[in-house]
Chain A
Amino acid sequence: MNQEKPLRRRPWAAGLVIFLGLALSGGGYAAATQAVKTEEVSTADQISEGRNLFLANCASCHGTNGEGAIGGPSLIGVGAASVDFQVGTGRMPGQASGPQLFKKPLQFTQEQISAMAAYVASLAPGPAIPADEYLAGNGDPTHGGELFRINCAMCHNAVGAGGALTQGKFAPNLNGVEAKHVYEAMVTGPQNMPVFNDSNLTPEDKADIITYLKYVDDNQSVGGFELGAIGPVAEGLFTWVFGFGFIIAITVWLGAKSN
């Protein structure tokens, strides 16, 4: 009886074990870190279109292979989310160098942005574009509000009206910013913003923050016009200019009557 080697002794077994081990750990890692995945798999066509767009519009600052140059940082590993945020809000392509890039009208269609995102994502793994389930704004606004006050309000103000940072940098107003971009900003930390990765704020936490911001966006202040929601300075200015302006007009009217 030709003794067959047990399966585990066959020559290819070791390779299989190594493959399985790698697949499990790597795949598990990938699954754990990339809980948020794009549904549509980027095709080779998309990537090559993205590369062409990249070469035409971005390479002068970011290098022909996204490795970075004098004008701009390396894009290897920044992920699709970063491209979708920067180009999707019009910040990229940048207009002029300065303390911070401003939001501008979009320069590309969403299709083109996705292509560039796919190309940049193909350079090295990085944060992906978030799944819709986190962007619907159906989380817990109370928890989101609390997280927002603790993590975001010191720069963006308690209702996201924005605030100043040092040397001309600033935290922009979050009013009317798309949920997708809010999420992407949190995972990629654009410009002067810190990164809030998934171990810091879980995707559910981020969804809650988006829910809170959406609530603030959708609900007009019950007290009337908000004066920019920037707090007591606007209120004081209003008192002096309009409140007191009106009162002085009345005093002048009353004083003039008798003359």
Chain B
Amino acid sequence: MSTATEAKSGGFLSGTANYLDERTSIAVAVKTFGRKIFPDHWSFMLGEVALYSFVVLVLSGTFLTFFFQPSMAEVHYDGSYAPLKGAEMSIAYASSLDISFDIRGGLIMRQVHHWAALLFVSAAGLHMMRVFFTGAFRKPRELNWIVGFVLFILGMAAGFSGYSLPDDLLSGNGLRIIDGMVKGIPFIGTAISSGLFGGEFPGTEIVARLYSVHIMIVPALIILFIGLHLMMVVIHKHTHYSGPGKRDDNVVGYPLAPVYVAKAGGFFFLVFGVIMAIAATFTINPIWNYGPYDPSPVSAGTQPDWYIGWLDGALRLAPSNLDVNIGEYTIPMGVMLPLIVSLVFLAAVAAYPFIENWVTQDKREHHVLDRPRNAPTRTAIGAAGATFYAVLWAGASTDLIAINFQVSLNSVLTTMQILLIIGPIIAYWVTKRACLSLQRKDREIALHGRETGRVVRLPHGEYIEVHEPVDEYELWKLVDFKDYQPTMVRPNKNGKITFGTRIRAAVSKIYFEDRIAPVSKTEFELAHHEHAPAIEEKPAAKPKAKRKPKAIAK
């Protein structure tokens, strides 16, 4: 097709392109964006999954808005679901049932929307973990970490506000918990709750209010922040894993057009397809099972969607006997403790890039990612945080763990409470040691090559195992990482050692006291000299790029 159009100048395609370019200068944009380089690695596609799930969410959500009615006025159900016929319920619930039973394609759209939401937040979470463990949040990307963090919170907000819309028993129970938490905040709680629900819970307002939040405010903010997020990706350029020719001042990979346009386009449809396949085969949130919301019944197995689970778990694991009485006021620590702990956890996640930078005082730009093992303390902190989160998360399903594994609910709770404290400590220690050991192994391989299992007898009678040197691409990965050392306590310009300096030195010691230095050139050459007779005849490996990089953007 293209040859035909190109053959005669001024064909339809080029004519149109020319027309557009003369009026919009679009060629500049196409050239710039088309030549943007993206490196190839599976872990770089997790954020994409979140983006694509969001697109699916917007598409399916738009469909749902045509049929959902956010009103809490009472009606008698007259749809096709027999066990609710004639039951009194809100219009919101009745219209959700209609979407599920009486509107063509309604149920699959509801299920697509809900599964996509679960996938959206989990993709965002995994992406965040990838960024954390590879150190992609370092300068110049600290602000983008914050933007991503805000997106994660917005994802939770979008999810929760959507979960509460159908006004079924499950969502009403969820709202009741929120109401209880809000009311538990000293002094202002009752007023906030009353403002939120327009009077006493559940009131007649909340569904309509959450609807605005769910379909307007939060999605608009998400789109805004996705825009910011991607803009910064373009400005910063993508990071890449270490390898020959990959430096902190370049990006090695393929251009957006045509490679990534095709790849990403195809990937979008794959993600869409997976969501459709799941939604077509697996029930999600069967609201007809839960029945209309009524403040009196609470069903067993009432849990939030997974991304709110850790907060529910925090509520369940909090000891119930720590309430503080000040005069005639009670501060309910069963509510305040989970609230404080989760806020501190989130604040720590958001602030981590700045904390690490304060420790390392590293002002350089970083575009080459760390292998997690090469930043043992960060990886260990991440593992501890993930464990903390995971225990809270599991805490939300204590009842299901108890019933499915036939153990006592009370012992599950106590076990989780203990794990919440010691789990992260164990995870920190184990991860840090594992990282250091892996680094030692890398060092060994870089210096002496891989063990081949071939034992050779030398002419003078000595037995020696043949080590095969790793090829230079592999070698690069093993030796190319930054090495930090604990900072010394030094007086500042005024000749004073400040408190901050001391703290920083102490933290820096925790971070970098145990470290495995990367292999230096001298060490490498020395090792190879020593082993020269035992190493097979192969060109000596040098940590230097020889293969022509695929494409390099400056």
Residues of chain A at the chain B interface (Cβ within 8 Å): 99, 141-142, 144-146, 149-150, 153-159, 161-168, 170-171, 212, 215-216, 221-227, 229-233, 235-240, 242-244, 246-248, 250-252, 254-256, 258-259
Instruction: Write the nearest CB–CB distance from B278 to chain A, whole angstroms.
Output: 6
B270 proximity list for chain A (CB < 8 A) = 250
B305 proximity list for chain A (CB < 8 A) = 232, 235-236
> Given A230-B301, A232-B285, list of 7 further CB < 8 A pairs?
A99-B408, A150-B296, A163-B403, A167-B409, A224-B280, A230-B400, A232-B306
Instruction: Give 1 or 0 for each of B266-304: 1 = CB within 8 Å of chain A CB.
Output: 110011001100101111111001110010111111111
Q: Is A243 in contact with B274, judged by CB distance below 8 angstroms? A: yes
Interface members, chain B 188-233 (any A CB < 8 Å): none
Q: Is A164 in contact with B399, judged by CB distance below 8 angstroms? A: yes
Cα of A162 to Cα of B400 in the assembled complex, Å? 9
Is residue B85 contacting chain A, with contact meaning CB distance below 8 A?
A: yes
Instruction: Write the nearest CB–CB distance from B369 to chain A, whole angstroms.
Output: 14
Q: Is A225 in contact with B282, judged by CB distance below 8 angstroms? A: yes
Please, which residue of chain A has its CB at the minimum distance from the CB of B308?
A: A232
Cα of A236 to Cα of B169 in the assembled complex, Å? 19
The size of the chain B interface, using a CB distance under 8 A, is: 72
Cα of A99 to Cα of B403 in the assembled complex, Å? 12
Q: Which of A144, A149, A170 contacts B169 (CB 8 A)?
A: A149
With contact pairs A166-B410, A223-B286 given, residues A161 and B83 touching in the complex (Cβ less than 8 Å) = no
Cα of A258 to Cα of B38 in the assembled complex, Å? 12
Q: Is A170 in contact with B402, judged by CB distance below 8 angstroms? A: yes
B281 proximity list for chain A (CB < 8 A) = 224-225
Q: Is A144 in contact with B296, judged by CB distance below 8 angstroms? A: no
Q: Is B282 in contact with A167, judged by CB distance below 8 angstroms? A: no
Cα of A232 to Cα of B170 in the assembled complex, Å? 10
A229 proximity list for chain B (CB < 8 A) = 286, 289
Q: Which of B46, B85, B301, B410 contacts A233 (CB 8 A)?
A: B301
Is residue B7 contacting chain A, with contact meaning CB distance below 8 A?
A: no
With contact pairs A222-B100, A235-B305 given, residues A250 and B83 touching in the complex (Cβ less than 8 Å) = no
Q: Is B284 in contact with A244, judged by CB distance below 8 angstroms? A: no
23 inter-chain pairs at a CB distance below 8 angstroms, sorted by A residue, are: A99-B408, A149-B169, A155-B300, A157-B300, A158-B290, A162-B403, A163-B300, A164-B400, A167-B409, A212-B83, A215-B82, A224-B281, A225-B281, A226-B286, A231-B303, A239-B115, A243-B278, A244-B123, A247-B271, A251-B45, A251-B267, A252-B42, A254-B45
Q: Is B299 in contact with A255, judged by CB distance below 8 angstroms? A: no
Please, which residue of chain B has its CB at the minimum distance from the CB of A149?
A: B297
Closest 8 pairs (CB-CB, A-B): A163-B300, A236-B306, A223-B283, A255-B42, A168-B408, A141-B83, A164-B399, A158-B299
Residues of chain B at the chain A interface (Cβ within 8 Å): 40-46, 49, 82-87, 100-101, 107, 111, 114-115, 118-119, 122-123, 126, 169-170, 254, 263, 266-267, 270-271, 274-275, 278, 280-286, 289-291, 294, 296-306, 309, 396-400, 402-403, 406-411
Q: Is A240 in contact with B306, judged by CB distance below 8 angstroms? A: yes
Cα of A161 to Cα of B118 in the assembled complex, Å? 23
Cα of A232 to Cα of B283 in the assembled complex, Å? 11
Q: Is A167 in contact with B83, judged by CB distance below 8 angstroms? A: no
Q: Is B123 in contact with A142, judged by CB distance below 8 angstroms? A: no
Instruction: Write the nearest CB–CB distance from A247 to chain B, whole angstroms.
Output: 6
Q: Is B119 in contact with A235, judged by CB distance below 8 angstroms? A: no
A146 proximity list for chain B (CB < 8 A) = 87, 291
Instruction: Write the nearest CB–CB distance from B216 to chain A, whole angstroms.
Output: 25
Q: Is B303 in contact with A232, judged by CB distance below 8 angstroms? A: yes
B49 proximity list for chain A (CB < 8 A) = 247, 251
A156 proximity list for chain B (CB < 8 A) = 300
Q: Is A157 in contact with B301, judged by CB distance below 8 angstroms? A: yes
Instruction: Write the nearest CB–CB distance from A229 to chain B, whole angstroms.
Output: 7
Q: Is B403 in contact with A223, judged by CB distance below 8 angstroms? A: no
Instruction: Write the nearest CB–CB distance from B516 to chain A, whole angstroms.
Output: 28
Cα of A153 to Cα of B170 in the assembled complex, Å? 11
Please, which residue of chain A has its CB at the minimum distance from the CB of B42?
A: A255
With contact pairs A156-B300, A223-B282, A231-B170 given, residues A170 and B100 touching in the complex (Cβ less than 8 Å) = no
With contact pairs A167-B409, A251-B46 given, residues A244 and B119 touching in the complex (Cβ less than 8 Å) = yes
Instruction: Write the nearest CB–CB distance from A60 to chain B, whole angstroms.
Output: 26
Cα of A237 to Cα of B266 in the assembled complex, Å? 27
Q: Which of A157, A158, A167, A216 contacts B408 (CB 8 A)?
A: A167
Cα of A166 to Cα of B303 in the assembled complex, Å? 18
Cα of A148 to Cα of B397 in the assembled complex, Å? 23
Tell which of B122, B266, B289 has the most Cβ of chain A within 10 Å: B289
Instruction: Write the nearest CB–CB distance from B246 to chain A, whole angstroms.
Output: 14
A254 proximity list for chain B (CB < 8 A) = 42, 45, 263, 266-267
Instruction: Write the nearest CB–CB distance from A32 to chain B, whole angstroms.
Output: 29
Cα of A232 to Cα of B397 in the assembled complex, Å? 10
Q: Is A247 in contact with B83, judged by CB distance below 8 angstroms? A: no
Cα of A247 to Cα of B118 in the assembled complex, Å? 13
Tell which of A162, A223, A233, A248 has the most Cβ of chain B within 10 Å: A223
Q: Is B118 in contact with A163, judged by CB distance below 8 angstroms? A: no
Q: Which of A154, A163, A165, A235 contacts B284 (CB 8 A)?
A: A235
Please, which residue of chain B has its CB at the minimum distance from the CB of A144?
A: B83
Cα of A223 to Cα of B111 in the assembled complex, Å? 8
B398 proximity list for chain A (CB < 8 A) = 164
B44 proximity list for chain A (CB < 8 A) = 255
Instruction: Write the nearest CB–CB distance from B76 to chain A, whole angstroms.
Output: 10
Instruction: Write the nearest CB–CB distance from A244 to chain B, whole angstroms.
Output: 6
Tell which of A161, A229, A247 has the most Cβ of chain B within 10 Å: A247
Q: Is A247 in contact with B300, judged by CB distance below 8 angstroms? A: no
Instruction: Write the nearest CB–CB distance from A82 to chain B, whole angstroms.
Output: 24
Tell which of A226, A243, A254 has the most Cβ of chain B within 10 Å: A243
Cα of A254 to Cα of B122 in the assembled complex, Å? 20
With contact pairs A165-B409, A254-B42 given, residues A221 and B267 touching in the complex (Cβ less than 8 Å) = no
Instruction: Write the nearest CB–CB distance from B96 to chain A, whole angstroms.
Output: 13
